[in-house]
Amino acid sequence: MMRKASFHAGMISGQNSANLVLCLEPEAACMACEDQRNSPLDDGASSAAVAASLQILKNGDTFMVLDCGGGTVDITVHRVVGTNPLRLAESRKPSGGPWGSTYVDQEFEQFLQAMIGEDSWKLFKSSSAWAQTMEEWEATKCAFDPSEKQDDPSSACSMRVAALSEALRELPVPAGGTELSLSDLVRKYNTDFGGQLESRRSILKIPFVKMQQFFQT
């Protein structure tokens, strides 16, 4: 069915074309990695790098693929049964679990909601600033190593929150209150939850220990 659809879409010249390989996602990931390993190197590459680039999977080799996605981590183990073209056989039953990075995002969202407050949270999440803030969070999350050890217990990770700071000025002021600011929210959060957040202009400094907690779901 997929070959037929590909043929009618003009992707291949015939339904049995060798230019189309149908495989499972882990197998496709393996083929992509193997293709990158065998790609030409720059003229200035060292002899060791050239040797590494020529090293390919051999018949009988067994390897594991970890597909770390947004919602899940999928684990497969394959054995090489052919190299030209590359052919694989399943060595173990696929496994995995709900360990994707979106669960880390959910922990960060709960933290942000506690800091902003219930009254302003829905308005903020429906604004364009929400998407921009999550983009900044994605960059911060990807640069963080939760397994890293810190000698300084007061170390922190800096996250840009310019969109959040700007959005706070546009949110309705609570009855009897004043215009919200990032420094006010940080101060209140630290008081209510015993936190150690810091802010400087449009930068939010999240303690290293707090960042680790986002990953310990």
Pick 124 or 35 by higher pLDDT. Answer: 124
Pick 18 or 53 by higher pLDDT. Answer: 18
Indicate if the pLDDT at residue 78 is higher than 50: yes
Phi–psi pair at 3, nearest 5 degrees: -65, -40
44-61 pLDDT, tens per residue?
555 455 444 445 678 899
- Cα distances from 32 to residues 25, 27, 29, 78, 145, in angstroms, run 11, 9, 5, 15, 26
145-199 pLDDT, tens per residue?
887 776 676 789 999 999 999 888 887 766 555 567 899 899 999 999 988 999 9
Pick 102 or 217 by higher pLDDT. Answer: 102
Work out the average pLDDT over 69-80. Answer: 86
Would you state the pLDDT for residue 162? 93
Distance between CA atoms of 132 and 182, rounded to whole angstroms? Answer: 16
Burial tier of 148 (Cβ tally within 10 Å: 0-12, 13-18, 19+):
exposed
Work out the average pLDDT over 79-95. Answer: 84
Work out the average pLDDT over 5-25. Answer: 87
Would you state the pLDDT for residue 181? 86
Token pair of 170, please? 């546009």
Tokens 């995002």 belong to residue: 105
pTM: 0.66
Would you state the pLDDT for residue 53? 45
Pick 85 or 121 by higher pLDDT. Answer: 121
Would you state the pLDDT for residue 51? 44
Would you state the pLDDT for residue 48? 52
89-129 pLDDT, tens per residue?
888 888 888 888 888 999 999 999 999 888 788 889 988 99
